[in-house]
Amino acid sequence: MTLRVLIGGARAGKSRLATDLATRWTGPVAYVATAEERDDEMSARIERHRAERPGGWRTIEEPIRLRSALETLDDDEAAVVDCLTLWVANLLEHGEAAAAIVADAERTAVRAAARAAPVIVVTNEVGLGIVPVNELARSYRDLLGEVNRVFVAHAQDAVLVVAGRALRLGAVE
């Protein structure tokens, strides 16, 4: 039905918008979380996101196998995927090569776009700032940009979220 990508900077309101959009779906909703509780700050972020979600939503915590998580959803179950940013970092940390991550992103985006119920994907735009000083940070920035581009290429809708405001991104013709 609809793959929608919400992209923007940190704390821009992407997750809140994703939650608002998903509440408009009349069927069940699953929240696919890619974050892992590794420290107190991340635990607080996760708890804040949990508190903002409606109580009837199913939560799937899957930091690595995102496509598999989407395949477990019922046909009429919408999904909020939060977020690609951490998913890519998790894959890198587990030793996945960039090319394998992009290929997995392609398969996952195709699967998400083919679902009958909507999939709303949250991701960060990390390439708008200064050029990172080290190779790992530059590689991550470039890889996430490529993964974001793959998802947007399969999306019916892409939205840039800045300071809580949504700007629809159109295709260049």
Which residue numbers are catalytic? 49
**8-state DSSP, 154:** H
Residues 33, 85: contact at Cβ < 8 Å?
no
Give the residue among 130, 153, 154 at the shortest CA–CA distance from 141.
130
Report the alpha-carbon distance of residue 152 to residue 148 in Å, rounded: 6
**Which of these, 162, 163, 53, 38, lies nearest to 93 by C-alpha position?**
38
User: Is the C-alpha dihedral spanning 140, 157, 16, 37 positive or negative?
Assistant: negative
